Amino acid sequence: MTDLGTRPAPTRTGALRRAAPALTGYAAVRALGLVVLAVWSAARGASPHTLLTARWDSLWYTRVAALGYGYEVRLPNGDVHSSLAFFPLLPWLEQLGAAVTPLSYADAGLLVSTLASLAAAWGIFAVADHVYGRRVGVCAALLWAVLPVGVVQSMAYSESLFTALAAWALYAVLTDRWVTAGVLASLAGLTRPVGAAVVAAVWAAAIASYIRDGRERRTGGPPFPRRALGMLLAPLGAAGYVLWVGHRTGRGPLGYLDVQAGWRNGFDGGYAFARFIANTFASFPSALAGIGLIIGVAAIVWLYVVCVRQGQPLPLLVYAGVVTALALCASSYFGSKPRLLLPAFPLLLPLARGLARVRPPRSAAVLGGVAVASALYGAFWLNGSGPP
């Protein structure tokens, strides 16, 4: 297993300069995606701005920013879709952006997502660079950019914000900055329910580090109080919001689970997803989709196994494992699973290591081709069913 903190972190200026190729390449990929989306949408008479800021979850976030919590929709089947399902950090930032700029809540959300996506790419680069070196870091950031659902990174959604907080929290753990890791994990917990993955990573790394180092005075490791404070801070964001929802609904700690049940979201160990895949084999055309889903799930599991075999640091393995388990084993809308897997960037590190060993012209050609395909798919996706 790779040790935490294999070398000291660079200075802030040096870190930005070191990450410049990754950030430049990332921005170019996302710009390509937006240009293709604009052209595709114009051909269909649709507004790319509306697609990015005023559909699906982005509408719920702006409602929370504008109206606060309490908005809900009652469906004919009796389900209740409540705004309490959406964690508050993105709406808070939308409120702040609208207060200090002339932007609307929706446009403030788009600005937050844009800046957060760059911060996420930088964080992914920093983690991969720290563990495997600069070339792997650049490849990792670009692979995250060219994911088929990468267009979500440019929407007024919370995935980019969450991934940025998670990546930098993991980097803080890897560089023994436990208090910083705890604060970032707490903020991640205020962003999405999967913030539990960041908390688990911080806790697992802190406990393993303490056990490995033994007596702090003799090894010269970070003082235990700093680790303990980081562990204490990490779950405060998620726990605070869940307890507040429980108080507001009058259901105590189970209140948030009730809210999620109204959206037909829950954790069933993957039973509903497996049943959904099985049902696709009822007819020939849908059976092809079922085969594709099986291949996709197998590829994700295989990547995680490779991560373990390559000795990724414990916090990365714990984080990626929890994110993957929550995405695949939830009973939520199945079309959203690729989006829910978007923050699981450690799964890309084996691919990034392989790509980094290829000659630069060839790796650039591969990434360029995938970027074009991702941009086309993203435009097609958003102009169709899109992310639920």
Q: What's the pLDDT at 387?
A: 77
In a domain, 337, yes or no: yes
In a domain, 178, yes or no: yes
In a domain, 254, yes or no: yes
In a domain, 342, yes or no: yes
Q: What's the pLDDT at 2?
A: 42
Q: How large is the average pLDDT for residues 149-176?
A: 97
For residue 81, the cross-strand partners are: 73
Give the Cα separation of 270 and 40 in Å (integer): 35
Instruction: Domain count for the chain, please give it.
Output: 1
Give the Cα separation of 31 and 37 in Å (integer): 10
What's the pLDDT tens digit per position in 295-343? 999 999 999 999 999 999 999 999 999 999 999 988 777 778 899 999 9
Alpha helices in 102-235 (DSSP H): 105-132, 134-145, 159-174, 178-189, 195-213, 216-219, 224-233
Q: What is the pTM of this model?
A: 0.94
Give the Cα separation of 143 and 137 in Å (integer): 10
In a domain, 5, yes or no: no
- In the numeric block, which tokens belong to residue 138? 């650049």
In a domain, 388, yes or no: no
Q: How large is the average pLDDT for residues 376-386?
A: 92
In a domain, 4, yes or no: no
Give the Cα separation of 202 and 204 in Å (integer): 6
- In the numeric block, which tokens belong to residue 225? 């109080």
What's the pLDDT tens digit per position in 221-280? 556 788 999 999 999 999 999 999 999 999 888 899 999 999 988 887 787 788 888 888
- In the numeric block, which tokens belong to residue 92? 């808070």
Q: What's the pLDDT at 103?
A: 97
Which range marks the domain in which residue 33 is found?
Answer: 12-382
Q: What's the pLDDT at 228?
A: 93
In a domain, 137, yes or no: yes
Helix (H) or strand (E) holding 344: none
What's the pLDDT tens digit per position in 205-235? 999 988 887 655 455 555 678 899 999 999 9
What's the pLDDT tens digit per position in 95-141? 999 999 999 999 999 999 999 999 999 999 999 999 999 999 999 99
